């Protein structure tokens, strides 16, 4: 069984994952909006803009998730 000390770190890590999920959702919304708005563009230009923006938004979310998890682990380690 897991100790009760690990519960706050797991809960906080879930918060980081939820925030990352929100960023991925924003990336998908961006990609769909760009594809819809650029209907008369050449296909490769529209998809390039959509994917570049989507990957950039997801990368920011991944970075925030990493920073939150690192902060949580440091706080948990210093509390012991």
Q: CA 22, CA 72: separation in Å to the nearest integer?
A: 19
The pLDDT of residue 50 is: 94
What are the extents of the domains in the chain?
Answer: 28-80
Q: Taking the model in full, what pTM does it have? A: 0.74
* pLDDT tens, position by position, 41-69: 898 899 999 999 999 999 999 999 999 88
Which residues fall within 8 angstroms of residue 27, CB to CB, at 6 or more apart? 53, 54, 55, 57, 58, 61
* pLDDT tens, position by position, 28-42: 999 999 999 998 889
């Amino acid at each position: 069984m897991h100790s009760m000390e690990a519960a706050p770190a797991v809960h906080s890590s879930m918060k980081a994952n939820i925030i990352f999920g929100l960023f991925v959702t924003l990336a998908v919304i961006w990609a769909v909006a760009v594809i819809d708005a650029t209907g008369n563009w050449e296909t490769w230009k529209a998809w390039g803009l959509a994917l570049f923006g989507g990957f950039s938004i997801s990368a920011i979310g991944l970075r925030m998730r990493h920073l939150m998890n690192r902060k949580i682990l440091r706080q948990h380690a210093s509390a012991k």
